Chain A
Amino acid sequence: MREIALLDLGRQEYAETWALQKSLVAQRARGEVSDLLLLVEHPHVITLGRKNSNSASLLPQASSNIPVFNVERGGEATYHGPGQLVGYPILKLEDRERDLHRYLRSLEEILIKTLGDFGLAGIRKEGATGVWIDQINPRKIASIGVAVKQWVTYHGFALNVSTELSYFRLISPCGFDGSIMTSMENELQREVSSDQAKESLIPHIESVLQARIVPQRLASIHV
């Protein structure tokens, strides 16, 4: 069984986590560390995936005091900020696991099961990776965008727990209008904490990825 070391980074600046991810990917590729899962919440930040690594999907009102990063993951623009549970699995894909779509679908499955614990029916939307609510009037609750380097995964998913949704209006998230985004709080009309979401998430990662999650402290991993 796969063993995944869990690093809960709390709140951390995007740039810092990004550098950490890249360093850990290299170490994972060399076999110096085990598979990892970083959980983090970022201060306000906009990242542009490879599909749109220019600012075309930023709307003019995107204020200059929110940092913007061009990153390696697939997909277009997204926003991260307080109230969002962000996960970056750093997993070495063995030969038979080198199926990117299966990996994307696994991440969706984990998030759909997590939402299920809260009584929310997450769904997939054909051709629009991520997790959505409501087939008829779809609202996006979690975004997914990954990258693979030397067959090690990085980047990952962002689940809107209590995210201030108006920030999505600064961008065209994944090419959609900012107004299609939603959050768990918005759907449930009650408070939900990131810790509650996290607690529910971990067992589903274990079952979907057939892994055992071992909480670890960053200091125990040489960066």
Chain B
Amino acid sequence: MAIDFKLPDIGEGVHEGEIVSWLVKEGDVVKEDQPLVEVMTDKATVEIPSPAAGTILRLGGKEGEIVKVGSVLVVIGNKGESAVPSADGKATAQKAPQAAQAASGKTLAPPPASSPATAVAPAPQGRVLATPATRKLARELSVDISQVRGSGPAGRVMDADVKSFSQGGAVAAPGAPTRAPSVAPSTTAASPSTKSAPPAVRPRVVMGTEERIPLRGIRKRISDHMHYAKSTAAHFTYVDEVDMTQLVKVRVDLKAIAEKQNVKLTFLPFIVKACVGALKKHAYLNGSIDYEKEEIVLKNYYNIGIATATDQGLIVPVIKGADQLSMVDIAAEIERLSNAAREGKIALEDIQGGTFTITSLGALGGLFATPIINTPESAILGIHEIKKRPVVIDNEIVIREIMNIALSFDHRLIDGHVGAAFAKDVKAFLEEPKWLLVGA
């Protein structure tokens, strides 16, 4: 008879392990104590030996997957035996969907009150392709996205698929628990005359599922890096508003010229130039701390990182030698780097060696944010939406194009008044664009 071999308790406080590599495959005949799989937890790897002799009927996960202590690692039995015995294997049969889900690359924790319909649903073939927005929509509509047939490229699940599944889903899955009471409470229901009627059925609420995605790749790097930055640098954020009215006009003129060179001139190159100009005046903002040598490193080169959103997460391509590039050069470089980043083709050298970072939250609006420094750099400038706002000039209320900026800097290295002076200079350059011609 087949046995489920579960991931043993391999340490106090160890709740899960990563499958590093399988040393056997399905169908292999194994001896007792033969190493089955290499599992890693924290800084330790362990080869788990087989508890018994037999044939490997099923592996409980793929390499790179996280398995919980106590979940089925392998099913060992006799050759020809099924991994899911139908006659006496109630327990095994119940675990099957769980293992199948684990094999799909993610673990959907079935809610405690999940209906039988969910438990016997066919396991998805792989991780469902969908954008985070679509996944959110699915959650809001209580749709299990793995059950939705995707109509997008490569079977990607689109918003429309989720919506139509949500509308037709109840019909398609008879026996599925109803999400909401189908009987609308009538106005008379509350009247005393209906007191003798059986109490109204309480709406049955289906517990929502949760989705678990292994933390690795770029997301893991970002997570480690952000935590490191936030736990080492002494963040201080200074917020100001910049009157962009003149620059808005200047850009209109220059944009036409840049277009002739096939370059799209956004506001970003002006902001890069303004930062370089201000960094030249305030060297500590372009510096870093070398703790090993107990030295402050002031850099005489200006490599400006531009935080760029990609499908996989935020990355920061770097414009090297921004002080030596013209406005149009910078615009072209930004375009090249952001295209490469979004296509996932960015070269390693293009994301290294930054000395200062600009992060734009412009498109999303917002008032201001408190950006996290891209360590080992010492400062980061967050820029926001340019918006028409009433301001008082010479005792008159006028409409001006205002942009908020938020500068986070490392207070270990940069005193508050130095950071503020830097922000004031960035503001001055942007408010009087002609200064950019001489200052940066």
Contact = CB atoms under 8 A, between A and B. Distances in A.
Nearest to A129: B43
A41 B45 CA distance: 23
Interface stretch (B32-40, B239-247, B361-369): B32-40
Nearest to A71: B45
A33 to B, nearest CB: 18
B292 A146 contact: no
Given A50-B40, A100-B44, A145-B43, A137 B49 contact: no
Contacts of A100: 10-11, 14, 41-42, 44, 46
A22 interface: no
A150 B33 contact: yes
A103 interface: yes
B376 interface: yes
A178 to B, nearest CB: 9
Contacts of A146: 43-45
Contact of A101 (B11, B47, B49, B376): B11
Contacts of B45: 49-50, 72-74, 146-148
Nearest to A134: B291
A34 interface: no
A118 interface: no
A182 interface: yes
A99 B12 contact: yes
B112 interface: no
Which of B33, B292, B348, B376 is the most central at the interface, judged by chain A CB atoms within 10 Å of its CB? B292
Contact of B376 (A73, A103, A148, A177): A177
B20 interface: yes
B373 to A, nearest CB: 14
Given A50-B38, A73-B45, A100-B46, A182 B11 contact: no
Contacts of B14: 100-101
Which of A104, A148, A180, A182 is the most central at the interface, judged by chain B CB atoms within 10 Å of its CB? A148
Interface in B3-40: 8, 10-14, 20, 33, 35, 38, 40
Given A72-B45, A102-B12, A150-B33, A175 B348 contact: no
Contact of B291 (A75, A137, A175): A137
Contacts of A90: none
Contacts of A120: none
Interface string B362-387: 00000000000001100000000000
A149 B11 contact: no
Given A165-B292, A175-B224, A176-B228, A74 B43 contact: yes
Interface in B94-120: none
Contacts of A175: 224
A104 B44 CA distance: 8
Interface string A143-171: 01111111100000000000001000000
A139 B224 contact: no
B288 to A, nearest CB: 10
Interface string A44-88: 000001110000000010000000000011110000000000000
B312 interface: no
Q: Helix, strand, loop or mixed for chain A's interface?
A: mixed
A151 B228 contact: no
A179 interface: yes
A148 B8 CA distance: 14
B42 A129 contact: yes
Which of A72, A100, A104, A177 is the most central at the interface, judged by chain B CB atoms within 10 Å of its CB? A100
Contacts of B376: 177, 179
Interface string A99-128: 111111000000000000000000000000
B20 A148 contact: no
Given A60-B348, A98-B10, A101-B14, A139 B42 contact: no
Contact of B47 (A102, A137, A148): A148
Contact of B49 (A72, A103, A150, A174): A150
B35 A74 contact: no
Interface string B61-99: 000000000000000000000000000000000000000
B10 A99 contact: yes
A147 B46 contact: yes
A150 B11 contact: no
A50 B19 CA distance: 10
B150 to A, nearest CB: 31
Nearest to B41: A100
Which of B43, B291, B375 is the most central at the interface, judged by chain A CB atoms within 10 Å of its CB? B43
Given A137-B232, A165-B292, A75 B224 contact: no
B43 A179 contact: no
A150 to B, nearest CB: 6
A149 B13 contact: no
Contacts of A72: 38, 45
Contacts of A174: 43
B43 A73 contact: yes
A150 B44 contact: no
B290 A74 contact: no
10 contacts: A49-B45, A51-B40, A73-B44, A98-B10, A101-B44, A104-B44, A146-B43, A147-B44, A147-B46, A177-B376
Interface of A: 49-51, 60, 72-75, 98-104, 129-130, 137, 139, 144-151, 165, 174-177, 179-182, 186
The 7 lowest CB-CB distance pairs between A and B, nearest first, are A101-B11, A129-B43, A148-B46, A100-B11, A100-B44, A74-B43, A75-B43
